[in-house]
Structure formats: C-alpha cells, structure tokens
Amino acid sequence: MSFDEDKHRRYTTTSSITLYPGVDDNGAIYSCEARHPALERYLRCSVAINVLHAPGIPQIEGYIEGDVVTSGDTLTLACITRGGNPPPYLIWKRGNVQVDATYTVSGHVTTNIHTFRVDASDNNGVYRCEASSIMTTEPIAASVKLSVHYPPANVKLMGPLEARKGDTVTLTCSTEISNPPSQITWVVDGSRIGSGESVTTRVQDGWVTVSNLTITLTRQDPDVKTFACYAENPPVRKKTFRTHKLSVTYPPQPPTILGYEEGSPLRVGELKTFNCVALGGNPPATLKWYRGDREVRYHPWRHISTPTIKTGSGVSSELVIRVEPSDNGMVYKCEANNTATQMPLVAFVKVVVYFPPSNVTITVKPCDPKAGDEVTLACTSSSSNPLARISWKRDGRHVRDHVEETLSAEYGAISTRSVLTFSVTSADDKSVFECKAKSDDLPAVTSNVTIRVRHKPEFPDPYQRIDVIEGTNATVNISVYAYPPVAWFSWTKDSSLIPPVSEMDDHMHRVMSSGPTLFIMNVVRKDGGTYVCMAENEEGTSNATIILNVQYPATVINITTMVVVAEGDNAFFECSISANPIIPDMIRWSTKGGEVILKENQQFTENGRSLLTLFNVSKQDSGTLECEAFNGIGEPDVKTANLIVLYKPTIVRHLVNNKIATELSTKVELRCIAEGDGNISFVWSFNSTVIIQGLDVGRYDIRAAKTTETQWCSILTIKRVRQEDFG
C-alpha cells in the first residue's frame, strides 16, 4: 500500500494484489474496501475473474463397445464434456464425416445427443465425439465402434428361363453381405426341399452365402416350374427371398393354314386373309409368315401380318394381302417355332391369281415406211392369267386379218402377241391403230399408235372452183397432205409466178401467196381465172388447180329508153344486164310506182337479156317502166323506159270551171285542161269567133304548158274585162 500527498495536503492511497489463478478461480469475486474516519460507511469495489481453460475429455454414453445392435434399431449416443471456458464446440463424426453438430451447454457441462437408425453400414463403424475451443490446438476426442447384426439386402437367384423335359438344370442362390452368415432354404413348386449345396464366405464387414440346387425335369413337371430361395438370419428375425420361373418347353403341333382352298383363283386387288393355327407347345409357338423365301413385313397397302395371339389351346396369326399379279404361283408359308423345336414346323399354300395384262405394247416395222412398203404391226400384251385375247381397230373400225400367238411370261402366266401385216399407201398416213387385250371378264387394256407414211404432197381436192366477190379481200386456203411436211410452195396464174409474202418489199402487189394460202386484196374482175398451186417435199411434187370465179353485182347495160305506139297496139321493151352470177328471176320489170308486171307471156328472160311485151296498150299504160337487176350481190340496179301511147286528146271537164265571175276592168284567167299523148294544140273562141294569139295583144294573152306526162293546160288571160266580155 502507498500514500501520495498533493499541494493541498490531500492524500491518495493505492493498494495492489498479485494472483495466480487456477481452474477453480474461474468466476471468483475479489473486493477492495476503503475505510476513512470521515466516512459513515466503507467504500467498496468488486471484480469477477474469468479464467480461460480447455474442456475435459468427452465421455460417450448409450453404447458399450462390444454390445450388438440390430439393423433397424434406433440408437442414441450422448457425448458429454465438463469444464472449458469458453464452452467447447461438441460434434459427432462417423468416420471422417460430420453427422451431428447440435449441442447444449448447462453450467460447466456441454452435451451433444445423436440419435439415428442403425443399418448394415454401421457394422464396425466408428462414431467419434470431438470437443474443441480456442483453448485447444487439437480437438479432444472419444470414440466407439459398433457391432451390428443385419440380414442380406438382396438375394440373387440365377438359372435358365427355359429347359426341355429330361434336361438337368442347376440354379444358384447367393446372398449379399449379412452379419452373422445367412442360412439358405429352397422351395420348389410350393414344397420345401433340402438346402442344396451351400458355401459361406467371409468378406469385409460380413458374410456371403451361396447355395446350388440341381434337378432333372420330368414329364410330371408343370409347364412353368417355380423356384424360391429364402435367406434367413435368426438374430435379425427377417427372411429375404427371391423367386425364379422355369418354363418347361415342348414343341407345338404342325401348323395349319385356313381361309384358302388351294387352286381357287383370286382376283387382283382383292383383300385375302390367311389364318395360320398351331395347337399345343410350350412356350406357345411363334408364327411367322413367308412369301416365297422372304419373311412378310408389314406394308400399309400390300401386306398386313398380325402378331401371334393365343386362341384356346394354341396360337394363331392372320396374314392379309392385297392380291397382286406377282402372287400368281407364289407360295405363302407359315412357320411355327418355339425353343423346343430344332427345326421350324411349316404349312404352305400355293396361290392362283387371275389378273389382266397391265399393258400392251405396239411395234411398227419398218418404223419410217414409204407409200407402197409392207408394214408389220405387232401388239404384245404383258403377262395375264388366264390368256388374254387381242383385237385391233384402225381409226375406230375393227380389223380382223391378224395372226395371234402366245408366249411364256412373268408370274407363271401367259403373254399374247398379235401381228398385222399390210401394204401402206398415202391414205394410211396418220392412221391410228388401237390394240386391245382382254382376259375373260377382267378389265381390258389398250394402246394405240399413229403410223406415218412418207408420200409426196396430195391435194384432197386438186380441182376447185372458188367464188369471191368483187371489191372484197379474198383468202384462198387449200388443204394439202404430205409427209414429211411440204418444204416448198409456189403459186402461178397463166404461167406467171405469184410472189410470196416474204418477198414483198412494198404494198404495191394486190395478189400474194404464203404457203398453201393465196391472198388477193380488193378483188377485181380480171383477178378471175385459173391458179395453180405446186407443193414439193422429199418424196415428190403435186399440183392443185383453182378456178377463181369473181362475182359482181348485176348492172343494166342496155335498155329500150322510149317506145311510142298507138292505142291498141303492142309495145316491145328490151333490158340487157351484166352480172355474175346470173340467176333466175334476177330481172324484174315494174311501173314507176313499183307495181310489178307479171302478166302471162309478157316477159322472156335468157342469158342476162329480158324482153317485155305489153299487149293492146291503152292510154292508161303510158308512163315510165323500170328494169331492176339484182343477183343477190350489192344493191339492185334500176334503169327506166318510157311508153307513149298515142290517142285523141280530150278535155278534162271536171278540172275546168264552166262559170267565172269577176268585176269590170279587172284581169281574169280562163283555164282549159286536156289529156292526150304528144303535143296538144288549143283553140279559144268567144261567141263562135276564134281568138288568135298575137292579134289583139293588148287585150288577150294565150299560153300552153305540159303539166304531166299526159296532160296539158292552156290559159287565156283577159287583161281588162269589158261589158261585152260577159257571155
């Protein structure tokens, strides 16, 4: 203890203590107490000492090494450590793997309780409890090693799946690791038998047991023999087992094919079902279909083979086929097989198919004949069953003279060949020959060929008359047949060559040609005449003659313009025309008003000339006649003729005023109308005195004029009426 005095005579007292703490000092409380006369009570200050130290060695509770636990049991291991400041971390490890890190601290005791279900892997397993803190350089540990009894996790039973009656078979049953060793027992078809030959082998952490069972199959054995292998581990009180089924095999009976009577014909395109049945056999037979030597595979439109299915005491399989020509004579085979058969058991049918030929082919020899050559056409049908018969047609008409023969063909059937021989002419060019092959009531097949015959050009109509109308554009197109095609055409008229269109450099020519076509622009009459078209190819030259007839409207070229006859006589008229064509009744006579003259024996017409006779004419016949010419082309042509009938003039009294009233000193006109043929002279008189024109000019004026073809009018003008003029 020490004392210090300051300048005010006050004192500071200091006291110290030195400690050497141990584990037991952890948490100890030390107090310093000051006493002074001036104090009513002591002054005190306390301090607690915290002593850091390592924990104690862990202790394991819940299992004593050497004890036995059984797999599946629940085991609780408690790890307890005392002391330690700060409290330690307490963890469980299995081997080197941490399995539990949950612990509790109560006072100076730290505890970690680990609970788990024991399994086979825990046998000889070491569980280790480790305590560690900042006061330990290495964990402080304690451990325990477990002993576990456990059954085998699995049993394997191996042996053949199939065996024939009389065979000796061995089955092997082996366990996985167990502790202690397992005991194996056998059960066959529900009956327990001896344990067989067993061998137990020590392995790491346990034992493996193997047992072999050998038996000989007899006729009394069922089709399926059942074996069971049991592995027992008494301390564990649990059985592990495995079963195995052995099929005792024997062959089936030979198969039978149903659904087809051999030799009966099938039709192409129909669906046919064959059914193969095989009775007995273990395992049930597997059925396979073969077409010839090839197994039938599924095809959506050709073959449908169903899987083998059980039917009563056997199996069956259907084969559905769409019949084709290639099935004719084909052998369809059904094979029955199982593991007991050394060779497949077989049934088969041979199929007969009726089918028509699929096509016919026609050959022509020589292939490029000329007119006059002998040509052979051969038509061959493809394979058919039954035999196909061949018929020929030429341009739709039957041909009967042909020779027929038969040939062997594919699918075991027959092909038919027919030969037609004839000499060809140009008329045979482009002839269509049709060959038809038909087998009984099956569909027929046909083929046709068009033969070409080399020949020089031929005109179907080598002499033609063609009508064209004047003033129109004419196109003359003639037909010509040739093979090979015409290589050169030429047109002539009166030995003069008509230029082709291709050579025309301008439009000055009205007449041109192009191949078999003649063009005439704005036809005139002189274009009529004889034209010759010449055509040439490799085989020769031919000509065609065209007579071009230019038609034009009828025109009147001559007519009797006037005929003057006396009343009661006959009048004769003539009308001549030019026309092409000249047709009957193309000349017609009529009056000016349009009334047709058709009296008997009045008209005679011949070669464009018409004679008209009017008998016993009267003054009513006077007037204008019309000659109309029309031949159907263009418009009618009309010319006129005048007929004058001579007769005495007569005054038309109903047109003359007998009385006229007027005033004195006025002018008045008096009219006299007369009818007659030719010029009519009028004489006026007053009170039996003739009034002479020009004698008394100042008083009278007389004028006469023709008003119609047959009427005249005379006008007397009195310039100044007097008293004496009345009367």
CB neighbours of 659 closer than 8 A, spacing ≥ 6? none
The verdict on residue 724 lying in a domain is no
Distance set, CA 363 to CA 356, 483, 674 (Å): 21, 20, 102
What's the pLDDT score for residue 697? 65
The verdict on residue 334 lying in a domain is yes
Query: In this structure, what DSSP letter does residue 133 have?
Result: -
Residues 564 and 535 in one domain: no
The count of domains in the chain is 7
Question: With contact defined as beta carbons under 8 Å apart, do 357 and 388 qualify?
Answer: yes
Strand partners, 198: 211
SS (H, E, C) 189-250: CCEEECCCEEEEEEECCEEEEEEEEEEECCCCCCCEEEEEEEEEECCCCEEEEEEEEEEEEE
Among 188, 219, 249, residue at a domain's last position: 249
Kindly tell me the sign of the dihedral angle through the C-alpha atoms of 365, 368, 373, 379. Answer: positive
Among 226, 249, 272, residue at a domain's last position: 249
What's the pLDDT score for residue 486? 92
CB neighbours of 394 closer than 8 A, spacing ≥ 6? 431, 432, 433, 434
The verdict on residue 723 lying in a domain is no
What's the pLDDT score for residue 457? 95
Q: What's the gap between Cα 278 and its chain centre?
A: 47
The closest alpha carbon to 390, from 379, 401, 398, 382, belongs to 379
Distance set, CA 183 to CA 119, 121, 202 (Å): 20, 21, 14
Residues 428 and 545 in one domain: no
Residues 629 and 586 in one domain: yes
Residues 482 and 569 in one domain: no
Residues 488 and 513 in one domain: yes
Q: Which residues does the chain have with pLDDT short of 50?
A: none
pLDDT tens string 412-429? 899 999 999 999 999 999
DSSP class per residue in 36-101: -TT-SS-EEEEEE----BPPPPPEEES--BTBEEETT-EEEEEEEEE--BSPPEEEEEETTEEEE-
Q: Count CB atoms within 10 A of the CB of residue 289.
A: 21
- Give the integer Cα–Cα distance in Å for 252 and 345: 8
What's the pLDDT score for residue 331? 93
The verdict on residue 726 lying in a domain is no
User: How big is the chain, counted in residues?
Assistant: 727
CB neighbours of 516 closer than 8 A, spacing ≥ 6? 477, 478, 479, 480, 486, 489, 533, 535
Residues 24 and 142 in one domain: yes
- Give the integer Cα–Cα distance in Å for 532 and 547: 9
The closest alpha carbon to 150, from 117, 178, 118, 184, belongs to 178
Per the structure block, which two tokens stand in for 30? Answer: 């030390």
pLDDT tens string 276-285? 999 988 888 9
- Give the integer Cα–Cα distance in Å for 455 and 537: 9
Return the ∠ at Cα 209 (arms to 208 and 210), rounded to 5°: 125
The verdict on residue 237 lying in a domain is yes
What's the pLDDT score for residue 598? 55
- Ramachandran bin of 320, using left for φ above 0, alpha for ψ from -120 to 50, beta for the remaining angles: beta
Residues 126 and 175 in one domain: no
Domain residues for 413?
A: 360-453
The CATH number of residue 442's host domain is: 2.60.40.10
Among 551, 574, 603, residue at a domain's last position: 551
Question: With contact defined as beta carbons under 8 Å apart, do 309 and 352 qualify?
Answer: no
Burial degree of 482 (CB within 10 A; 0-12, 13-18, 19+)? buried
- Give the integer Cα–Cα distance in Å for 693 and 702: 6
What's the pLDDT score for residue 239? 81
Kindly tell me the sign of the dihedral angle through the C-alpha atoms of 95, 96, 99, 104. Answer: positive
The verdict on residue 38 lying in a domain is yes
